[in-house]
A and B are shown apart, each in its own frame.
Chain A
Amino acid sequence: MKKNILKTGLIAVFVVLLSTVTGCNKNGENFDSDLTISFQTKLNGANYALNNIYRNGSDVDVKFEKFQFYLSDITFVNSDGDERLVSEIELFKFNENGLAAVDVKIPKGKYETIKFGIGVKKEFNEADPANYSEEGHPLNTTENTYWGWATMYRFITAEGRYDADLNGEFEGTFAYHTGHEESYRTASYTHEIEISKKEINFLNFNIEMDDLLDYSGNEVDMVSEPYYHGGMENFHLSEKISDNMVSAISIATE
């Protein structure tokens, strides 16, 4: 008799823990569906591969050679307004084809809004990077995104070369490393997406690279101001690029 009571009790505890530990939210949903979030660099709607040359609005030939950025608090919102935080921090590093992707887990269901912060949120940006020593952690110093003094993490890294004379020689380099809490931006996108448990789900974003540095009315003059790497001087470049980033991102609908 006592044995049966003990067994029943343990099973009850098991059921309670099963629902609370794996549920992760009040609705008892499991973060057990696979979702790949990707970004593709674009130029006037067509795919843009890094190292390809384009002419910007100031008649300067430009080619990006390195591009990456952090997203914080990637969150999906369903029709009831319930939020599902799928990741607190991710680093999107673009390959030569201009594609960057990360895999996350999310509860199955229908979602209507996706939102995130562009950059490293304050809580992480002010933290000691030595605490993120797990291999593959986006904030690990092996990612070479931590400067330390003043700026802490580099939110957006955009580097490349330019040819202002249009003589085919890319005489200039540019390197913009945005940072500081003041460069953190939030973005929200209305988009219906149904996540199923049986297959890998995809959410694809585009980034118009011309908008990143040459968004109308908020252009970066890379010839006169080719660098930003923290600090107060030229901080307007960090602000411009951070603002432009919000404008440059859109959800891929094709």
Chain B
Amino acid sequence: MKTPALIGILNLLLLAGCNGGHSENDGLPQTNEHISNYEIKKPDHFPEIPIPEDNPMTEKKIELGKKLFFDPILSSDTTVSCASCHFSGYAFSDTVALSLGVENRTGKRNAPPLLNIAYASSFFRDGGAPTLEMQLITPIEDENEMNLDVNDAVERLKNNPIYVRMFEEVFNEPPSLFGLTRSIAAYERTLISTGSKYDRYLQTNDKSVFSEKEALGYELFTSNELKCTQCHSGFNLTNNGFHNNGIYADYADFGRANLTLDSINIGEFRVPSLRNIAITGPYMHDGSFATLEEVITHYSNGGQKHKNQDSLINGFEITQTEKEALIAFLNTLTDSSFSQPLNQ
């Protein structure tokens, strides 16, 4: 037997599977760009941005993801894109309580802002998806949102010469679910908001950046009486936790309990980042509060006393002047450079 033939047989044996069943690593797609060539700009007071190993940031991938994000091709009747409910001019949130999907169908929850989504550890209001990539499947398929089977979405992209070229350039293969989810997730990770007045304070530790009213609001925000920072903490003003903040005595939407299947989690939803909060209303998981004043009033009243209501929600005294000061501080969290309408 000749040596090359022997090696050939060895290779064949190595390629042969042990059995005819299916295993975890069957058909794992390959990406054309394994190494990140794109660095997300962030200031020093922001931590490193976690990037998944199977989705390195590259310029072409981000370009593809941005195009897909703004393209209604991913909805059944080609009228709704990701950007239809995540407006760039409003920190990638919606301006209505419940977004409208295809055929003006009403969604079930308020569309969350996508700013700094790269730092989130789970997704949806209840944390129902563990990665940004996996999260993307649900709004595309949800009958009240884009209402398109992801397999049909991929087929559409395969029939579009521009997307075929772009996917080939990035993933070295035709459009696929892997590429679709990786590219949009990569684009969304670039949505980093760091340019607020509050950031200038974090960078300098100089309270003089605030007006007198804003400074009073900051004191209230960080006070033991209001306890805002018990949940809205850290650089991104969220502890990434799930809490029942008592907006209902009886919740129609069970929230986190839909994952844990435990009634003690009924009414728990993710603590949102407060960055750009002035322009991301309506507020709460269902958009039930139209203004920041309503939100503060809710907390000062101590909630609706649901049995799972977080013990931190127990009311506080606040004057109208203090309320206005607190709102003035919350306005300093707006990054006007981030919240500009984008055209695709």
Interface residues of A (CB under 8 A from B): 7, 10-11, 13-14, 17-18, 21-22, 24, 31, 34, 74, 85-90, 103-106, 123-124, 126-135, 137-142, 144, 146-150, 180, 182, 230-233, 235
Residues of chain B within 8 A of A180, CB atoms compared: 261
A-B contact pairs, 30 of them (CB 8 A): A10-B3, A14-B6, A21-B14, A22-B13, A31-B20, A86-B19, A86-B20, A87-B20, A89-B21, A89-B23, A124-B24, A128-B133, A130-B134, A130-B176, A130-B178, A130-B180, A131-B25, A132-B27, A133-B29, A133-B178, A139-B22, A141-B137, A142-B151, A144-B149, A231-B254, A231-B258, A232-B254, A232-B261, A232-B262, A232-B263
Are B20 and A138 within 8 A (Cβ)? no
Are B9 and A130 within 8 A (Cβ)? no
- Give the distance in Å from the alpha carbon of A133 to the alpha carbon of B137 in the complex: 14
Residues of chain B within 8 A of A17, CB atoms compared: 10, 13-14
Of the candidates B19, B23, B28, B129, the one whose C-beta lies within 8 Å of that of A31 is B19
Of the candidates A7, A14, A140, the one whose C-beta lies within 8 Å of that of B9 is A14
Are A133 and B134 within 8 A (Cβ)? no
Q: Is B191 an interface residue (CB 8 A)?
A: no
Tell whether A133 pairs with B176 under 8 Å between CB atoms, given A141-B137, A231-B254.
Answer: yes
Count of CB-CB pairs between chains A and B under 8 Å: 137
Give the contacts of B105-150 with A (CB-CB under 8 A): 124, 126, 128-131, 133-135, 137-138, 141, 149-150
Are B21 and A90 within 8 A (Cβ)? yes
- Give the distance in Å from the alpha carbon of A230 to the alpha carbon of B261 in the complex: 10
Question: What sequence of 0s and 1s flags, for each residue 12-46 of chain B, a beta carbon within 8 Å of any chain A beta carbon?
Answer: 01101111111111111100000000000000000
Residues of chain B within 8 A of A134, CB atoms compared: 26-27
Residues of chain A within 8 A of B266, CB atoms compared: 232
Are B16 and A22 within 8 A (Cβ)? yes
Of the candidates B19, B26, B124, B176, the one whose C-beta lies within 8 Å of that of A104 is B19
Tell whether A88 pairs with B261 under 8 Å between CB atoms, given A141-B137, A141-B150, A150-B126.
Answer: no
Q: Is B257 an interface residue (CB 8 A)?
A: yes
Are A129 and B18 within 8 A (Cβ)? no
Interface residues of B (CB under 8 A from A): 3, 6, 9-10, 13-14, 16-29, 124, 126, 128-131, 133-135, 137-138, 141, 149-151, 176-178, 180-182, 254, 257-263, 266
Are B134 and A129 within 8 A (Cβ)? yes
Task: Pick the most buried of B18, B130, B137, B258: most chain A CB atoms within 10 A of its CB.
Answer: B18
Residues of chain A within 8 A of B22, CB atoms compared: 87-90, 137-139
Residues of chain A within 8 A of B149, CB atoms compared: 144
User: Min CB distance, A99 to chain B, in Å?
Assistant: 19
Of the candidates A88, A135, A230, A233, the one whose C-beta lies within 8 Å of that of B21 is A88
Are B27 and A127 within 8 A (Cβ)? no
Are A24 and B137 within 8 A (Cβ)? no
**A230, closest chain B residue (CB):** B258
Residues of chain B within 8 A of A149, CB atoms compared: 124, 128-129, 138
**A140, closest chain B residue (CB):** B27
- Give the distance in Å from the alpha carbon of A10 to the alpha carbon of B2 in the complex: 10
Task: Pick the most buried of A24, A31, A34, A232: most chain B CB atoms within 10 A of its CB.
Answer: A232
Residues of chain B within 8 A of A231, CB atoms compared: 254, 258
Residues of chain A within 8 A of B3, CB atoms compared: 7, 10
- Give the distance in Å from the alpha carbon of A146 to the alpha carbon of B134 in the complex: 11
Are A232 and B21 within 8 A (Cβ)? no
User: Min CB distance, A28 to chain B, in Å?
Assistant: 12
Residues of chain A within 8 A of B126, CB atoms compared: 150
User: Min CB distance, A141 to chain B, in Å?
Assistant: 6
Are A128 and B10 within 8 A (Cβ)? no
**B135, closest chain A residue (CB):** A148
Tell whether A87 pairs with B21 under 8 Å between CB atoms, given A148-B137, A149-B128.
Answer: yes
- Give the distance in Å from the alpha carbon of A123 to the alpha carbon of B22 in the complex: 14
- Give the distance in Å from the alpha carbon of A39 to the alpha carbon of B25 in the complex: 27
Residues of chain B within 8 A of A7, CB atoms compared: 3
Residues of chain B within 8 A of A127, CB atoms compared: 24
Are A130 and B14 within 8 A (Cβ)? no
- Give the distance in Å from the alpha carbon of A80 to the alpha carbon of B59 in the complex: 57
- Give the distance in Å from the alpha carbon of A105 to the alpha carbon of B19 in the complex: 5
User: Min CB distance, B9 to chain A, in Å?
Assistant: 7
- Given pairs A141-B151, A232-B262, 6 additional interface contacts (CB within 8 A): A88-B21, A106-B19, A130-B181, A137-B26, A149-B138, A232-B258
- Give the distance in Å from the alpha carbon of A13 to the alpha carbon of B16 in the complex: 17
Residues of chain B within 8 A of A106, CB atoms compared: 19
The 6 A-B pairs with the shortest beta carbon distances in the complex, nearest first, are: A87-B21, A134-B27, A105-B20, A24-B18, A31-B19, A231-B258
